[in-house]
Structure 1
């Protein structure tokens, strides 16, 4: 039940004076919500200092300034395109106020000669003289109030002015209760010099003075409140999970050792640590919810196979879920190669399986003779039942919705779950992005894997690149060719156009895959390339994860300057999976901008996905990083991950301690946390169920 003190904040926007039926949908679109509280969360993006300057000689070109002067002269326009000009004088110099296409009589009424006026607006350089065009404010100090000392400036949409949005925000502030308790850690609030929750909102929407540091402290305070809300939700989810009873899967060092001895390579230290952490989780009586995050080629599948061996040794079944048919088949082939020689029964279940083969697989899952199954969404259909499902492994987890994972969880009683992702994100953000999951990072690559040589090439040399691809195909190799768009008439770097051009030029089988194709056609095109029936695959970024083709040695990326670093790194990871030298050719259209040049240079200089993720984060911010939006990291209303990651970590520790000592949130601090969760928790669902 919502605390009644919050009722006014969750009233509809139409309860504000001036918001009628026509304006209501416009305002709702702007603030991304329907309640008064959504309006208050629509924070100003900047503030304008409107304090009246002492004299004209204090102002500089390019700034917004508020000044007082005497009307010295009025000059009518000498042509239709010229402005009206009013000269103000303050004893130290002149300022010209310019108006285009204005009513001359109205202007002379606003600026009578000899009168004092306050004007506020941006100062321009007009032939070396100070000029203000169309001031934001014109005030007669004898009759009206000067502009507000500080004016919040909001993001806007068509149909709304800044003045109206600010007026609505001032009304909304009155709905914030005065008697809300302090939900933050008192020591931290004092240490950071933060004001209270309502005062922070007032300091942003209705500041009494211009103070950049105060604005930032108020925003940091609200970001901390949002971090508390989110992390307390996750802390409660973790506590609830710990109270659930899961079957303990005994550790199986002997069985896992047998698998390790069959490998043609040594496990990395990171893999060994990951296997140990997962084994510990599975042996407990609480359901494991762990994220295994590893760069391209870090060996996540082997770690998953080790967990499946532990499950099988304990008499449990394992379900590997992949987002596409091709990836599920690929996962099956890898697991079959690793586990079948050791006597484990491995099967695949996808939409392609029909008739007797499907029935046989369903029967084997139901009677327990199949110990490990790799599949797609087909795994959680009603017709699928398991005898003793103990472990679920979800590959490329951000491609699944929470409901998809929950339907598979429903096939057993509190099964353990491992979710895997090849999308590197900055280490500092891993825990905050993945919410209530425990996180294991594979930060080493297996020995002997050849690095992919990365070259940046202007697209004026595209003919040379086509010839190089042709020579590679003649040597028995395969190549990916990635285009940024499917098919646009005025752009030649499209998948459809490039597919036709390569077929014509090289006279070899060339495949095509893009997001507009039907899933079955897409899977068929990927399978043709994987099996070697096509030698070149022209694609959009739909192939950025998972497709494993050891014979593919060349990755060409057209218009590479338009891709994010993380995405380029994912695409590069599709090659270099065999024992031949591999290349990633970044075709760019010159001239390159500074940021694009820095991105391509970063990619050429390192193959460390986490280092690349850090660089991408600094260059582009969290909203553009591959995978973060799907993972729920950018659904914050206030938090800026590039500034507030430390607050998320502080809030995580703080709320975990509160929930541990007061699991029902019945005490004063717990009840206060309930309030902030009500205000600032988006519809957060547990990341893994």
Structure 2
């Protein structure tokens, strides 16, 4: 077996000094070049003008009808035009800044034009043109378009990949098992690589792409599933002795009934806690779906089994809020809850650290302060991280190493499409809360333009007079030279004049922690009726009396962020409202406003957000851990992703996968990827 990824790219004829430019694109070998697939095709098949739409890029053939006309603008800019008869249409062909073509355009000659069609003017803005029978022709072909940069041009890349296929195309070997190629009627790999670079038709190119998408997603999932399979056999966690009658009694004593969804998820978590292997579970649910109480039941079960629990959250406000709510829940059971944040005094911090180390604190709630080097536990059994995508993988693993490989429950209120969850978190089991607690009224969402602001301010006044409160969110803290959007400091000053009879608060990320906490406390106790804020209040703040969420320049926020902000209201018994103020100029901005007014379902919002923004931005690329796929698109190829995952799960569970000769290429792939010798994935 010859691994084409071990053959230097310089072995391909014609590469020469361009090897460094290819290296900048991540191409270092013959295999790497052959696997550098086009992201689209230029279609040079001739089109019928009666079948094309305004704005389409088209290729047409006709006869030059008139002598060309040239207009010069300064020394370099020009507009060259002539009439061309295409079928029965007399069309104007226009070339910009191609004055040198004038001598070639002769009346009566045939010409092939490629460019953008303007149906209203019967005009084509020509990007490329050629004369049939004179030199090499692209007419009637599909030309691959690659991502190129530097000194590498499309034509050079096309020519070089054709040369690589001539030299090494016959050495391309199949990596997928025969059964999977047959199951999905996939092209053999050798054929698919040749076709994807040079398809006869769009449908043939799509078949080749489908084959390579499946291969890419299958190999990725195989890596994850083999990792899970190998590490699950390691009994290196804590098998908690769960006191089920005590847990049932705790649940029965809650001042509300759990939803069926919560009961199901709690059963999954308790089952994990009993196993000797470490739990690694993602709990996702919409805003207000009751994730915190599920975490509380898990923490209670672990403490009753003789271990400590830790809850890590992204902000001090949220940490204090969780501490208060957990104390209220656990007080009757004698469970001690501690708080560890960066703003504790040195003396308080020392007391908390000592209490944790000797076991006087059963559950600690904290921010990043929990993962500092001098924090030790007596016996940490369960780590819960809230809004987990806000923490880097390294931060989570540091906390985890503070116990004897404790169980880990990660929670997010940003519902993740199943597609993304099984890709970004393939090493996690995923539990989902779909139901909202009974009695929750849907939040009414409206999209209005800036000129209706007076009506919104009157509506806020009316609600506040009935005892309610309002959030008003701005994208910026203070005025910017670069952006024409509302800022929190100016708006706060305006609203203080507008509402002299109300208390208007201001909250943003630059305020000292103590000041932020003080403002939030006054707002939660209704001493402040209107809170002007940046997105610092996006996560977890719980004020049931707040019923209005106004978001300025809403088109500047991502969909999932808008949904998170909306989730700050609607947490009590009163009807709540979300008002989006925007004058969106982009289609994406308009689509966000449309999605927000059409649905309250966080999973549907997340699906649309993934389509609009792509997976990299969904979590923030740096901390997402998302793989960079060459051909697969998680939003478009989610069905193939799920099939690939199911196939990988089934395959690694079979004994013959680890022994049969047929699967040797896949085992060698896992060996190269260091899956078979790696430590436990966090």
* Shared fold, TM over 0.5: yes
Q: CA deviation at 1:521?
A: 6.5
Q: Which residue of 2 aligns with 1:587?
A: 581
Question: Residues 535, 190 of structure 1: CA spacing in aligned structure 2 closer, same or farther, 3 A cutoff?
Answer: same
- 2:640 paired with 1:652: no
Q: Which residue of 2 aligns with 1:479?
A: 470
Match of 2:394 among 403, 409, 420: 403
Match of 2:497 among 494, 504, 508: 504
Question: Residues 583, 595 of structure 1: CA spacing in aligned structure 2 closer, same or farther, 3 A cutoff?
Answer: same
Alignment of 1:88-237 (within 5 A): 98-100=94-96, 102-103=98-99, 107-108=102-103, 110-111=104-105, 118-122=111-115, 124=117, 133-134=125-126, 136-139=128-131, 141=133, 143-144=135-136, 149-155=141-147, 161-170=153-162, 178-207=170-199, 209=200, 211-237=201-227
Q: Aligned partners of 1:485 and 1:351: how far apart in 2?
A: 25
Match of 1:464 among 455, 479, 492: 455
Q: CA deviation at 1:239?
A: 1.8
Q: CA deviation at 1:349?
A: 1.0
| 3-state SS, counterpart of residue 277 of structure 1 | helix
Q: Which residue of 2 aligns with 1:576?
A: 570
Q: Deviations along 1:624-643, whole A, 9 cap, x unmatched?
A: 65679854457433222233
Q: Aligned partners of 1:648 and 1:178: how far apart in 2?
A: 29
Question: Residues 651, 175 of structure 1: CA spacing in aligned structure 2 closer, same or farther, 3 A cutoff?
Answer: farther
Alignment of 1:12-411 (within 5 A): 16-17=15-16, 19=18, 28=24, 31=25, 43-51=37-45, 74-77=67-70, 83-85=79-81, 98-100=94-96, 102-103=98-99, 107-108=102-103, 110-111=104-105, 118-122=111-115, 124=117, 133-134=125-126, 136-139=128-131, 141=133, 143-144=135-136, 149-155=141-147, 161-170=153-162, 178-207=170-199, 209=200, 211-245=201-235, 246-411=237-402
Q: CA deviation at 1:222?
A: 1.5
Q: CA deviation at 1:118?
A: 5.0
Q: Aligned partners of 1:10 and 1:376: how far apart in 2?
A: 49
Q: CA deviation at 1:469?
A: 2.8
| 3-state SS, counterpart of residue 643 of structure 1 | coil
Q: Which residue of 1 aligns with 2:6?
A: 7
Q: Is the 8 A contact 1:291 1:438 kept in 2?
A: yes
Alignment of 1:526-675 (within 5 A): 526=520, 529-530=523-524, 534-589=528-583, 599-600=592-593, 602-604=595-597, 606-617=599-610, 622=615, 625=618, 631-632=624-625, 635-661=628-654, 667-673=660-666
| 3-state SS, counterpart of residue 653 of structure 2 | helix
Q: Aligned partners of 2:545 and 2:226: how far apart in 1?
A: 48
Q: Is the 8 A contact 1:290 1:440 kept in 2?
A: yes
Stretch of structure 1 that moved more, 298-307 or 633-642: 633-642
Q: Aligned partners of 2:223 and 2:562: how far apart in 1?
A: 34
Question: Residues 206, 308 of structure 1: CA spacing in aligned structure 2 closer, same or farther, 3 A cutoff?
Answer: same
Q: Aligned partners of 1:599 and 1:243: how far apart in 2?
A: 45
Question: Residues 57, 424 of structure 1: CA spacing in aligned structure 2 closer, same or farther, 3 A cutoff?
Answer: closer
Q: Aligned partners of 2:31 and 2:324: how far apart in 1?
A: 52
TM-score under structure 2 length normalisation: 0.85
Stretch of structure 1 that moved more, 76-85 or 565-574: 76-85
| 3-state SS, counterpart of residue 385 of structure 1 | coil
Q: Deviations along 1:123-142, whole A, 9 cap, x unmatched?
A: 7458876x655452424625
Q: CA deviation at 1:376?
A: 1.3
Q: CA deviation at 1:99?
A: 4.0
Q: Aligned partners of 1:255 and 1:43: how far apart in 2?
A: 58
**When the two structures are aligned, how many residues end up with a matched partner?**
673
Q: Deviations along 1:532-582, whole A, 9 cap, x unmatched?
A: 564433223332221222332221112334544433221111112234443
Task: Provide the aligned C-alpha RMSD in A.
Answer: 4.1
Q: Aligned partners of 2:461 and 2:120: how far apart in 1?
A: 60
| 3-state SS, counterpart of residue 230 of structure 2 | helix
Q: CA deviation at 1:206?
A: 2.6
| 3-state SS, counterpart of residue 74 of structure 1 | coil
Listed as ranges, the gaps of 5+ residues in structure 2 are none
Stretch of structure 1 that moved more, 359-368 or 522-531: 522-531
Q: Aligned partners of 1:318 and 1:172: how far apart in 2?
A: 57
Q: Aligned partners of 1:91 and 1:450: how far apart in 2?
A: 62
Q: Is the 8 A contact 1:85 1:97 kept in 2?
A: yes
Q: Aligned partners of 1:652 and 1:582: how far apart in 2?
A: 41
Q: Deviations along 1:5-45, whole A, 9 cap, x unmatched?
A: 42237889999445276x56xx83xx477777676665434
Stretch of structure 1 that moved more, 482-491 or 68-77: 68-77
Question: Residues 82, 421 of structure 1: CA spacing in aligned structure 2 closer, same or farther, 3 A cutoff?
Answer: closer
Q: Is the 8 A contact 1:436 1:686 kept in 2?
A: no
| 3-state SS, counterpart of residue 555 of structure 1 | strand
Q: CA deviation at 1:494?
A: 2.5
